[in-house]
Structure formats: structure tokens, C-alpha cells
Amino acid sequence: MLPAENYLNMKIVELLDLDESIVKKYIEFYRRDIEKIQYIFLSNLKTSTSGIIKKIQIELLLEHTLKSKQEEIYTALHFCNILKVSGIEDIRNLAGKALVNLMPSLSFQQRNDIAIELLRALEMEDYQFTKYIPYYLGQLILYLTPNELEELVDDLIEKIKQSDPKLSSLLLRTVGIAIANYPKYRERFSKKEKSFENRLSKMIGILLNGFVHYNLKVKQTAFRVIGKEIFGSRHLNLEEKNHIFQLIAKKILTLIIIFSKGA
């Protein structure tokens, strides 16, 4: 049997609460498959492997890595590769979710490496692949330490200024997703209210700079991200959205004043 089948069989017999000897037999099958885990990694990157098998194997790898606490960075990079190159949308999204779930198990340096890997991936030519990355990258960067996140936000400010419209739009969506999930960051790292608010204000500033971008597509992306990813987010409550609205309103008023003077 394939590792995916053995994994499912093990889960089924555990849920059915069957005789202990039967459960042990299927656990042993699973254990033998784990000893050949490199085969599973390789299988996930083959086009000949069916989508269903890949889905089960992603779940298998995530569960094994979280339990064993072994090869976390290798598994994380594997999920990165699937997110970047898989031709099936469901597989990409499952790999992205698995990567987010794995992030707390990585060291701070490894988290930074994963964030950099996906930031570079945004520069790939094929938008059909890169368009899925910001939703997960925006969540992943919130596992970076405050200093690393601060540096990354500063890098994004410069990168958007120098990038082509496609990459700028992807970066704006990444920032929008980060803002929509930003309240979680206080629980993980940021206890100082001032630095937390300053960073939020800086990220909002990145989106608002999209309003004055020379390219119409980037302007539209900035509006769409604020409307859909932030104010349409289910991760933010009304109080948090109101707070963000007040910050955005102040900055928009400033932009209006600048444009009025320029006119």
C-alpha cells in the first residue's frame, strides 16, 4: 500500500476504537512508511502523483513533523516548493496552511529564511503561481521577531518603489494580509503598545502609498486590499477595524491636502 493509504487506515482504525492489536498493526505500517519519508517528499513533487495522494501526504508530513520535532526546516521548505510550483490550487492552499501551522515550531532564523524564500518567490514570472503566495506570506511574517519584522517592513517600503506593477501588487496584498492578522502579533511578541502601533501605522502607510503609484493597476490593488483584505476580513473585530479606519482616514486627509496644494 501507499504511505497515504496506510496513514488513512491508521486514522480510521483509531477513530473506530478497534481492538488494540489491529490498531498496533496499522501503526506499524505507518511507522515503516515514515522510515522512508524521503520517498514521500519526492512523491509530492511529481506530476504523476494524484492530487488526493498529495493532500494526504501533506497532512501526514505536517503531523509527523509536529510530533517528532525533526526536520522542521526541511519540511517547511518542502511546503514552500509546493506552494510555489504546484499546478493544483487545492494542493497549493493546503501546503500554505500547513506551512503556517509549522511556523511556530521553527527557530527564529528558520522563520526568517522561510519569509525570505517566499518573498523571492513573488518575483517569479508566472502570476498564476505567485498570486497564491501573499495570503500565506502575510501570515508567516507575523512569526518574525519585532526587529526582523521591522527590517522587513522597511525593505517592503523600498521594494515597492522599485518594483514592476505586478510585484508591487503582490507585495501590497502581502501587507494587507499581515494587517488583517496583526492583532495576533501582540500575543506572540509585541508587548510595547507604542512599537506595535508604530509598525501598524507604517504598514498602513505602505498601502496608502499605493494610492499615489504611477500605475493604475497598483492603485486599484491598494484600494481592493484595504476594502477586501482588511475591512472585509473575518480576523478583525469591529473595534479593530474602526481603529484601522481612523488611522487610514487621517493619512488619506493628509494626502488630499498634499494634492490640493499641488493643484
143, 104 Cβ separation under 8 angstroms:
yes
Predicted local confidence at residue 74, as pLDDT? 95
Predicted local confidence at residue 32, as pLDDT? 86
Predicted local confidence at residue 111, as pLDDT? 97
AA identity, residue 22: I
Give the separation between CA 101 and CA 117, rounded to whole angstroms.
17
Predicted local confidence at residue 35, as pLDDT? 85
Which has the closest alpha carbon to 94: 57, 40, 138, 144? 57
Predicted local confidence at residue 259, as pLDDT? 56
143, 189 Cβ separation under 8 angstroms:
no
Cell of 133: 503566495
Residues whose CB falls within 8 Å of the CB of residue 65, separated by 6 or more in sequence, listed in order: 71, 72, 75, 102, 105
Question: b/e for 228-245, b at 16 or more Cβ within 10 A?
Answer: ebbeebeebeeebeeebe
Predicted local confidence at residue 262, as pLDDT? 55
Predicted local confidence at residue 34, as pLDDT? 85
Predicted local confidence at residue 59, as pLDDT? 95
10-residue mean pLDDT profile of the chain (263 residues): values are 84 85 85 87 90 94 92 95 91 96 96 96 87 96 95 93 93 97 88 83 93 89 94 95 91 68 55
* Tens digits of residue pLDDT in 47-103: 899 999 999 999 999 999 999 998 899 999 999 999 998 888 999 999 999 999 999
Predicted local confidence at residue 260, as pLDDT? 59
